[in-house]
A = this chain, B = another copy of it.
Amino acid sequence: MKNFDYQTPTRLIFGRDVVAGLPEVMRPFGRRILLTYGGGSIKRIGLYDRVKELLKDFEIFELGGIEPNPKYSTSVVEGVRICKEQQIDVILSVGGGSVLDCSKAIAGGAKYDGETWDLIIGKAPTLAALPIVDILTLAATGSEYDAGGVISRTETNDKVAYIDPHLFPACSFLDPTYTFTVNAKHTAAGVADAINHVMEQYFTHASNSVADGFCETLVKTLMKYAPIALEKPDDYEARAEIMYACTFGCNGLLALGTGGSPWPMHGIEHALSGYYDITHGEGLAIITPHWMRHVLNERTQERIVKFGVNVFGLAADQAPSEIAEQTIARTAQFFKSLGMPMTLREVGIDDSRLEEMAHHIAVNEGLDAPGTFAPLNEQDILSILKAAL
């Protein structure tokens, strides 16, 4: 087992109507709140009004309209401006992972005198951040329990992970009923994102018994409950299991002692949604089986077999190469069974910029690090993109 240093201080308040406790959680942080949200779904489900009513004794400023794949030049810059001008005490993020990721970048920028982008790309250190509380309305990214956010800069096709311990939410409210109205497309994409988070951490050469069992548990849980949630969107248990399982995606718990991974599938997908603004979870579902097939070799086969046996229950007494093939096929079948797109063309990506993206990924994502599960150079990345076309 490799050495590790781990801490996740976020408080999780989970379940039906837990948001009733919001004022008590907000009060210690101060009276001036920046309320951040997305395209308005929180208004349709009544959550916006509920929050305003609960916080009627606070002074609330608003930043709505935060986009999926949140944009630096609009949302982040605007949020930082409001925080500084209005002397905001605390950010309340109400929405999915994109709103929360954007709020984290705002929280860092609000406590920094220079350009927030310098924090995001690590050119300047993050020495402080505004406290963040969130109410989650989409189960997917795990941002509610981690210290990172992904921010896009459209001008440069950049999609950058901004990670710093100051960015852990102080408290995350997780009420599965808020995800009842998430449509099939985004329910599936959220599950695919969460499964991919686990797979990114599972596929290493230095895992351990605890990490493996936790990872397999989460993937099995997500695969069991996703079809139920699609069939019956207001099934509380299914939505609750999915929301709970997603929580552990990105805070490092699943990689403790394993030495981690460069997250190759996310590295590739970040270019897809950076260039084409596609839904992140759909990009991952498309890439995942092709990444598995590309990296399958004598050295990686054992882990892929283990995944197949322990997650899909494949018979362990077959030839390993056969089990590995079945594992890849079953992974693809699962995403297909959720009604997800399985090719880049289906999400509007043609072959015109594959080389450009492969180059961008190779330069920016560090996927060729020696000693990792399956180092990828520019040619490897291009092969995966072409196979996924």
- B213–A244 contact, CB under 8 A? no
A53 at the interface (CB under 8 A from B): no
How many Å from the CB of A234 to the closest CB on chain B? Answer: 15
**From A219, which residue of chain B is reached at the shortest CB distance?**
B213
A375 at the interface (CB under 8 A from B): no
- Copy total for this chain: 2
How many Å from the CB of A330 to the closest CB on chain B? Answer: 19
A121 at the interface (CB under 8 A from B): no
- A210–B2 contact, CB under 8 A? no
A78 at the interface (CB under 8 A from B): no
User: Which A residues from 233 to 266 make CB contacts under 8 A with B?
Assistant: 236-237, 240-241, 244-245, 256-257
Q: Which residues of A contact B (CB under 8 A)?
A: 1-16, 18, 176, 208-210, 212-214, 216-218, 220-221, 224-225, 236-237, 240-241, 244-245, 256-257
10 tightest A-B contacts by CB?
A213-B217, A3-B15, A7-B11, A1-B240, A9-B9, A209-B221, A6-B12, A5-B13, A4-B14, A210-B221
Known: A1-B14, A8-B8. 9 other contacts (CB 8 A): A1-B241, A2-B15, A4-B13, A4-B14, A6-B11, A7-B9, A209-B217, A209-B225, A210-B221
- 29 CB < 8 A contacts A-B: A1-B15, A1-B237, A1-B240, A3-B14, A4-B13, A4-B15, A5-B18, A6-B14, A7-B10, A7-B11, A8-B8, A9-B9, A208-B237, A208-B244, A209-B217, A209-B221, A209-B245, A210-B218, A210-B221, A210-B241, A210-B244, A210-B245, A213-B213, A213-B216, A213-B217, A214-B217, A217-B217, A240-B257, A244-B257
